[in-house]
Amino acid sequence: MAETTEEKQEQASPDILVLVKEYIATRVELLRLTAIERVTIVASNLITDTFVLITGILTFLFASFALALWLGELTGSYAAGFGIITLIYLALTLIVLFTKDKIVDGFLNDFLVKRIFKRKK
């Protein structure tokens, strides 16, 4: 018996629907896994970057105290040593304040975009 065109379409139609449903389910699962991967990467970067930041701040703080005490011994006055460190930080703050639009913002934007969207090799 020869099958008619309508019978072939009726048989093919459910197969196509099943394939489309499987395709959609696969795409949804892929999107879900991709989102989980990105969230995991961001979370792990956040944790490690926070640790590095805290460690760096503590190192900077203790180094500042050590430098201020050393300068205080050189000048004969601990107040002068801490004053010199304060003036150095004030100068750095003013430099960053006046150059932030040209240099700092562009660098930070580029760094953060590269950090967020970096690809695995």
Two tokens, residue 39: 């969230």
Domain residue spans of the chain? 9-116
Contact 104, 92 (CB under 8 A): no
Using CA atoms, how far apart are residues 24 and 37, in angstroms rounded to an integer?
20
Give the model's pLDDT for residue 79: 96
Contact 69, 78 (CB under 8 A): yes
Where residue 63 falls among pLDDT bands split at 50, 70, 90? very high
Where residue 10 falls among pLDDT bands split at 50, 70, 90? low
Give the model's pLDDT for residue 50: 94
